[in-house]
Amino acid sequence: MKGSAIRELLKLTESPEIISFGGGMPAPEVFPVDAFRAATERVLLKQGKQALQYSATEGYRPLREWIAKKMATYGIESAPENVLITSGSQQALDLLGKVLINPGDLILTEKPTYLGALQAWRAYQAEFTTVPMDQDGLQVNLLEEALTAGPKFMYILPNFHNPGGVTLSLERRRKLIEFSDRYGVPIIEDDPYGELRYEGDHLPPLVVIDSEQCRNRPGRSIEKSSYYDESKPANGNGRAYMRGNVIYLSTFSKTLAPGLRLAWVVAPVEVIERCTVAKQGMDLHTATLNQLIAHEILTGGADGDDFLKGHVRLIRDVYRERRDVMLTAMERHFPPQVKWSYPAGGLFLWVTLPKYLDAAALLTEAVARKVAYVPGSAFHPAGDGHNTLRLNFSFCNPEKINEGISRLGEVFSEAIERHEGMSTEDAFSTLQATI
């Protein structure tokens, strides 16, 4: 395992005088501190002994039930047996790597993709093949060639991509599910940001489209002919077990608080069972206290089940404003040669500089001006994408966003001016060095 020079540089950006667009951190101003304080008190009063005890690896049953019910509101009839609670989605990625990846296995990802997944799966000696994205997400017309290389699974972030900022269109979601089914390549759908939509209509998750398209599809083997697992009796609540080609991940990190380290996997029971064994060896179970507090916040307060809805509405308002402030500031301060994505939700914007610029080299200049971002090569499995970078718009307040973008505009404008002032020969060798 290797550390990364970029991570080392980004550590410098943690000091308070740096305006950091680097991390994917929620705005601390919106953390529901009072709701946590009240819920913690209620849990300790009502269930103190249980909350401080070891608990089941699969997770706190009432929380699994709550998640299965929430999935049903999306249109997926999962049972609590289809749900595993994990210590963050990052752990879910690691668990799935542990269960699914043999050394040398090929994983298909979008290009760019989430750095944390690459980090987790490189440790299991995975290799990567990539398919590029445009403003409508993964370019599914380029998928077939990558699928013929025989990847073990696809890793897809359909909503408000990290780092790409784009959303996979409904038409492409349907095609992607068709390809997954036709080539027998399952999908890991990572959806931490799905609820943070600032405009437009909610699009169904891949797991839902898979359930619609694969249910009773004619001409399929008995094993695959039903989306629900007929070989297992329904559980005590009469709920069928789901199966299908998609493993769905989501998290409370962006809607409640990342410090909770609480997330979930929804998958066929066979996958949940194997991940549970892997999790036992990793941490026995996710913190009982945190699970009980989260469950209490979600169900036990004065607003009961409505707490999360109301809270997510607040987060959306705050982040929508920050996104718009950043977009307006970029229009004002970035030179015309710089392009960026337009995110309908989530936390990130993806920026493309002219080909001859190297975002990692420019980060040193940006940090000298006390502003930071993540260079895009970190999100490319093959280390390319030198002229790209990711900006986060959730963490800094509007005033800091304006100031930080103005400083970045200076860094980029000066770099472009320097390049344009070069002789053609020098410019050509710089371009060669960066591609």
Binding region for ligand PLP (CB under 6 A): 24, 88-90, 114, 116, 157, 162, 190, 192, 251, 253, 258, 263
Cα separation, 114 vs 390, in Å, equals 11
| φ, ψ at 296 (rounded to 5°) | -65, -40
CA gap 322, 328 in Å, rounded: 10
To ligand PLP, the closest distance from the beta carbon of 253 in angstroms equals 3
State the helix-helix crossing angle for 306-333 and 398-420, rounded to 10 degrees: 30
> Residue 386 is which amino acid?
H
Cβ nearer to ligand PLP, comparing 164 with 404: 164
- Smallest distance from the beta carbon of 132 to ligand PLP, in angstroms? 18
Asked if residue 138 lies in contact with residue 157, where contact means CB atoms within 8 angstroms, the answer is no
Based on CB atoms, which residue is closest to ligand PLP, 113 or 377? 113
DSSP 379: G
Nearer to ligand PLP, 116 or 335 (CB): 116
Record the tokens describing residue 150, joined without a space. 């025989």
Structure tokens at 227: 């989306």
Shortest gap between Cβ of 322 and ligand PLP (angstroms)? 17
Instruction: Identify which of residues 263 and 275 has a Cβ nearer to ligand PLP in the complex.
Output: 263
Nearer to ligand PLP, 251 or 377 (CB): 251
Closest CA to 210 of 232, 231, 188: 188
Return the beta strands (E) in 139-186 as ranges: 153-156
CB atoms under 10 Å from CB of 2, counted, come to 6
Nearer to ligand PLP, 157 or 242 (CB): 157
408: nearest Cα among 353, 360, 371, 354: 371
Q: To the nearest whole angstrom, how small is the minimum distance from the Cβ of residue 114 to ligand PLP?
A: 4
389's CB contacts (< 8 A; 6+ apart) are 350, 351, 353, 359, 363, 373, 374, 375, 376
* Closest residue by beta carbon to ligand PLP: 88
User: By C-beta, is 62 or 116 nearer to ligand PLP?
Assistant: 116
Looking at the DSSP bridge assignments, the partners of residue 15 are: none
Shortest separation between residue 35's beta carbon and ligand PLP, angstroms: 19
For 194, other C-beta atoms within 10 Å of its C-beta total 23
At closest approach, how far in Å is the CB of 212 from ligand PLP?
Answer: 24
Cβ closest to ligand PLP, residue 156 vs residue 240: 156
- CB–CB of 419/393 below 8 Å? no
Q: How far apart are CA 348 and CA 163, in angstroms?
A: 6
Report d(CA 156, CA 180) in Å as an integer: 12
In the complex, least distance from residue 117 CB atom to ligand PLP, rounded to whole angstroms: 7
The smaller minimum CB distance to ligand PLP, of residues 181 and 190, is found at 190
Min dist. Cβ of residue 230 to ligand PLP (A): 33
Least distance (Å) between residue 435 CB and ligand PLP: 27
